[in-house]
Structure 1
Amino acid sequence: MSAYMKDHFQYLGIQKPQRTELQKEFFKQVKKQKRIDWDFIFMLWDLPEREFQYLALDYILALKNGLQKADMDRIKLLIINKSWWDSVDILASNITGNLCAKHQEIVQSHILSWAESDNIWLARVSILFQLKYKENTDAELLKFIITRNSNNKEFFINKAIGWALREYSKTDKEWVKSFLECNTLNTLSVREASKYL
C-alpha cells in the first residue's frame, strides 16, 4: 500500500472493506451526534499511518451536512498537510464542493485565491470542487480557474484540468469542445478532457 502511494505514507495494511467494517458501529453513533469534533479529526491527521487520515475523511463525510462556512480554514489545513491525491480529491469534490454548493460566498472567500496558489493541492481543489455539479457547474468560473492554471507544468494540476473538463463534457460536450479549441492546454489535460468527445 505504501509503495502504491510512492512511499509518502506508512500504512497499517488495513484494506478499505476491512476499514468500512471496523468503522460501521462507530459511525452509527457519530451520526446521532451531528456535531463535528475537529480536535478528533486533527488528532487522526497527526497520526503517522494513512488509514487514520482515511478515517478522518470518512468521519467528515458522515457529518458533512453539519459543515459550516467557518470550517473552510480547517479544511484548508487538511488539504495542505499530508497532501496527496487520495486525500485531496475527497476534500475537493465531496467536502469542499458540498460546502460551496450550500454557501456560494466561499468561492469568493477561498476558492478564487486557491486557484492562484503556489500550493498545487489548493489549486487542484479549486479545479475539482465542481466535479459533481453537472448542470449546476459554473462554466465561467471553471474556465477562469483552468485558465489561471493552464501554464502549470505540474502533473497533478494538468490531470485535474483534464478530469474537470472530462466530467463536465458529460453535461455540456459542446462547451468543452469549444474550450479545447480556443485554449492551449497541456497534452495530458487535452487527452483526459477528450475521453467522451
Structure 2
Amino acid sequence: MSFSSDLENSFRANANRELALPMENYMKNNFSFLGIKTEERRALMMQAYTINKKEVNANYREICWELFNKKEREFHICAIDLLQKEIKRKYVLEDISLIEKLLVTNSWWDSVDTIAKYLLGGYLVQFPGEIHKAIERFSNSENMWLNRSAILFQLSYKEKTDFDLLKSECDKHKNSKEFFIQKAIGWALRDYSRFNPNGVLEFVNSAKLKPLSQREAIRNIK
C-alpha cells in the first residue's frame, strides 16, 4: 500500500453524505465533499502518514499534487496540510512552480488563502530575492487567485511586512470589481494595522479604495 491509497481507502470508508451536503453548499457547490470533518480528516491523515512516513518524506511534493487532483475537497485540503508539514524551511527554488500550480488548480478561498499565507509566504521568506519576480508575475496575471495571493502572501510576516509592497499591491488592484480582491485588500491592511495603525489609516484615507476594502481595512483601528 501507499500513503495515497491508504488515505483514500480510509477517507471513503468514513464518508458521510449527510455531512457532505452542507459542506458542498457552504462552498457554493464548487466541489464534491466526502463529509469528513476537520478533526477526523486530520486524524485519518496522521494514521496514513505514520504508516507511510518514509514514502511521504521522500515524495511529498508528488503526493501533494496527486491528492490535489482528486475529486473531493478533503483530498485537496489534506494535500495542503501535508505539504505544509513537510516543506517548512526545506523549499527549493523550483517550488514556486508547484505553489503556482496549487493556487490555480481547484481554486477557492479556502485553499488559496492557506497556500498564499503559509506556502507562498514561507517560500519567499526563504528566498527573499524571488519576491519581486514572483509577486510581479502573480500580480500581473489574469488569474484572480494569483492576484489575491500577491496581496495576501505577507499575512504571516506581522511587523516584518513590507508595507510599501503591500500598499503597491493594494493600490494596483483597488479598482477591481472582484469581491475576493476587494476583500483581500481589506484583510491584508487590517492584519497589518495591528502593527502600524496610523500608517494603514493614512493609506486608506488617501488611496480611494472600494468601500468593502476600506471598511475591512479600518475595522480594528480605534
- With normalisation by structure 1, the TM-score equals 0.95
Q: Distance in 2 between matches of 1:21 and 1:3?
A: 24
Q: Residues 33 and 22 (structure 1 numbering): CA distance in 2 closer, same or farther, change over 3 Å?
A: closer
Aligned to 1:106: 130
**Which consecutive unaligned segments of at least 5 residues does structure 1 have?**
none
Q: Following TM superposition, by how much is the alpha carbon of 1:102 offset from its aligned partner in structure 2, in angstroms? A: 1.3
Q: Residues 174 and 27 (structure 1 numbering): CA distance in 2 closer, same or farther, change over 3 Å?
A: farther
Aligned to 1:68: 92
Aligned to 1:151: 175
Q: Following TM superposition, by how much is the alpha carbon of 1:35 offset from its aligned partner in structure 2, in angstroms? A: 4.2
**Which consecutive unaligned segments of at least 5 residues does structure 2 have?**
1-22
Q: Following TM superposition, by how much is the alpha carbon of 1:32 offset from its aligned partner in structure 2, in angstroms? A: 9.3
For residue 157 of structure 2, the aligned residue among 102, 126, 133 is 133
**Any idea what SS the aligned residue of 1:196 has?**
coil
Q: Following TM superposition, by how much is the alpha carbon of 1:120 offset from its aligned partner in structure 2, in angstroms? A: 0.6
Q: Distance in 1 between matches of 2:87 and 2:187?
A: 24
Q: Percent identity?
A: 37
Pairing of 1:38-77 with structure 2 (within 5 A): 38-65=61-88, 66-77=90-101
Q: Residues 150 and 31 (structure 1 numbering): CA distance in 2 closer, same or farther, change over 3 Å?
A: farther
Aligned to 2:13: none
Question: Which deviates the most, 81-90 or 64-73?
Answer: 64-73
Q: Distance in 2 between matches of 1:67 and 1:44?
A: 19
C-alpha deviations, 1:108-156, integer Å up to 9, x for none? 2211121122111000000000011111000111111111111111000
Q: Distance in 2 between matches of 1:36 and 1:169?
A: 40
RMSD over aligned Cα atoms:
1.6
Pairing of 1:1-197 with structure 2 (within 5 A): 1-28=23-50, 30=53, 34-65=57-88, 66-197=90-221
Q: Following TM superposition, by how much is the alpha carbon of 1:25 offset from its aligned partner in structure 2, in angstroms? A: 3.1
Q: Following TM superposition, by how much is the alpha carbon of 1:101 offset from its aligned partner in structure 2, in angstroms? A: 1.1
Contact between 1:45 and 1:52, CA under 8 Å: does it hold in 2? yes
Q: Distance in 1 between matches of 2:111 and 2:172?
A: 23
Q: Distance in 1 between matches of 2:216 and 2:54?
A: 37
Contact between 2:60 and 2:86, CA under 8 Å: does it hold in 1? no
Contact between 1:93 and 1:128, CA under 8 Å: does it hold in 2? yes
Q: Distance in 2 between matches of 1:9 and 1:190?
A: 31
**Structure exhibiting the larger radius of gyration computed from Cα positions:** 2
**Higher normalized contact order (CA 8 Å, seq sep 6+, divided by chain length):** 1
C-alpha deviations, 1:74-106, integer Å up to 9, x for none? 110110111000100010001111111111122
Q: Distance in 2 between matches of 1:27 and 1:98?
A: 23
How many residues get paired?
197
